[in-house]
């Protein structure tokens, strides 16, 4: 059956699919897979008394396996795909002399806001699907192979920091051949309640690694969960080298920190790329007005609807004050420090995908179908 979580303000009622996911997990004729967004891993622990900001991805993978998920993948992998596609689009725009900045498209609340308030900017929003949607399409395609699906039905579940991601999977422009790729989205708090209900002692279980072939992500992909992360990952991709010095130059370029608006410039083969990082829709609105009046201009603008990015999404455990927010951002940056692969375009599993499953299909699986934007 379906149940609804009612918004405390009474303004909206948000659908939860917890029951459908339980049913799928109990059904012997399904393969249920999960992808977990970067921001989830540094917030879920709040629900189990784990120190704020601690990365609990390993425990979450273990818990999801115990709940019956057959495979658990990392949306960081999807973020790597997004970085590669978006950097390409940026370079094409710059070389073609297209007007105005390229705006990111990975936050559905921002995309919706922009479409409603500034329809004239439609051509400036990246054609890239979000990490969830790129990865959702790749997972769906991968499991079409009868050797992999073993004649069972795939149920694809995303674990996300916000409810806007539930709407995103229903947008026709992000579907593949008219079919929804991700079946259900669960928020961080919904997954916490499932774990609790199952009796798993989350705080005591060991960590497990994510499953192959989509279990490896880069540091660039993991920092997507914090404001500035998308821009930093794209700049890493554009940077030719990958030494510590080069990565540090990007880190200290002004891309980090939780200001509502950050500006930075980056040298790309002798050309200056101007970027802005904005979080919070009020800040985005102000910035667009300044861009439209000609007061400022950029090549690339990252927008996240939530202040400080997805770490503070509406599906994350609440009651997060300044200390929690800092700890979550630090949790993601520390995770990046401990990852061997920093650049999305150096993730070997992603490169293998381009040589295999994605051959001739990048447009179909990774970009929005802009002919069908009516929702």
CB of 31 or CB of 185, closer to ligand SF4: 185
Does residue 136 interact with ligand SF4 by CB under 6 A? no
Asked if 87 and 237 touch (Cβ cutoff 8 Å), the reply is yes
Does residue 310 interact with ligand SF4 by CB under 6 A? yes
CB of 62 or CB of 132, closer to ligand SF4: 132
Of 36, 2, 19, the closest CA to residue 139 belongs to 36
Does residue 304 interact with ligand SF4 by CB under 6 A? yes
Asked if 261 and 302 touch (Cβ cutoff 8 Å), the reply is no
Q: Of these, 43, 79, 91, 107, which contacts ligand SF4 (CB under 6 A)?
A: 107
Does residue 313 interact with ligand SF4 by CB under 6 A? yes
> Is 89 labeled as catalytic in the residue annotation?
yes
Does residue 164 interact with ligand SF4 by CB under 6 A? yes
Does residue 305 interact with ligand SF4 by CB under 6 A? yes
> Is 115 labeled as catalytic in the residue annotation?
no
Q: Of these, 306, 320, 339, 353, which contacts ligand SF4 (CB under 6 A)?
A: 306
* Total site size for ligand SF4, rule CB under 6 A: 12
CB of 43 to ligand SF4, least distance (A): 10
Give residue 308's region: left, alpha or beta (phi > 0; psi -120 to 50): left
CB atoms < 10 A from the CB of 259, how many? Answer: 15
Give the ranges where the chain is alpha helix by DSSP (H).
Answer: 18-26, 57-67, 75-96, 108-117, 131-142, 146-149, 164-168, 188-198, 219-222, 229-238, 244-250, 281-292, 322-337, 348-355, 362-366
H or E element: which one contains 301? strand 300-304
CB of 330 to ligand SF4, least distance (A): 18
Q: How far apart are CA 117 and CA 235, in angstroms?
A: 29
> Is 168 labeled as catalytic in the residue annotation?
yes
CB of 364 to ligand SF4, least distance (A): 23
Does residue 327 interact with ligand SF4 by CB under 6 A? no
Angle of helix 229-238 relative to helix 75-96, nearest 10 degrees, comes to 60
H or E element: which one contains 267? strand 261-268
User: Catalytic site residues?
Assistant: 86, 89, 106, 126, 165, 168, 173, 310
Binding site for ligand SF4 (CB under 6 A): 107, 109, 161-162, 164-165, 304-306, 309-310, 313
């Amino acid at each position: 059956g379906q149940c609804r979580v009612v918004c405390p303000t009474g303004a909206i009622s948000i659908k939860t699919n917890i029951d459908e996911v339980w049913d799928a997990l109990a059904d012997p004729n399904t393969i249920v897979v999960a992808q977990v967004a970067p921001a989830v891993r540094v917030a879920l622990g709040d629900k189990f008394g784990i120190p704020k900001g601690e990365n609990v991805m390993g425990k979450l993978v273990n818990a999801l396996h115990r709940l019956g998920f057959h495979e658990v993948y990392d949306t960081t992998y999807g973020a790597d795909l997004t970085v590669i596609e978006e950097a390409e689009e940026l370079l094409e725009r710059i070389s073609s002399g297209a007007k105005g900045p390229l705006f990111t498209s990975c936050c559905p609340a921002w995309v919706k806001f922009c479409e409603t308030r500034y329809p004239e900017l439609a051509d400036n929003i990246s054609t890239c699907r979000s990490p969830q949607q790129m990865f959702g399409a790749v997972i769906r395609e991968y499991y079409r192979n009868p050797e992999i699906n073993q004649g069972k039905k795939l149920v694809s579940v995303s674990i996300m920091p916000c409810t806007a991601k539930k709407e995103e999977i229903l947008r026709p422009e992000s579907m593949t051949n008219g079919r929804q790729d991700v079946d259900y989205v669960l928020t961080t708090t919904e997954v916490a309640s499932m774990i609790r209900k199952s009796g798993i002692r989350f705080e005591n279980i060991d960590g497990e690694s994510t499953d192959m072939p989509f279990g490896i992500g880069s540091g660039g992909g993991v920092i997507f969960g914090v404001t500035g992360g998308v821009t930093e990952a794209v700049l890493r991709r554009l940077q030719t080298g990958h030494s510590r010095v080069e990565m540090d130059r990007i880190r200290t370029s002004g891309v980090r920190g939780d200001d509502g608006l950050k500006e930075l410039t980056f040298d790309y083969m002798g050309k200056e790329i101007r970027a802005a990082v904005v979080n919070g829709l009020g800040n985005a609105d102000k910035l667009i007005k300044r861009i439209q009046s000609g007061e400022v201009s950029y090549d690339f603008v990252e927008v996240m609807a939530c202040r400080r990015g997805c770490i503070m999404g509406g599906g994350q455990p609440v009651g997060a004050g300044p200390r929690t927010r800092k700890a979550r951002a630090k949790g993601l940056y520390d995770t990046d420090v401990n990852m061997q692969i920093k650049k999305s375009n150096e993730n070997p599993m992603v490169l293998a995908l381009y040589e295999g499953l994605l051959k001739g299909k990048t447009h179909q699986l990774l970009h929005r179908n802009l002919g069908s934007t009516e929702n």
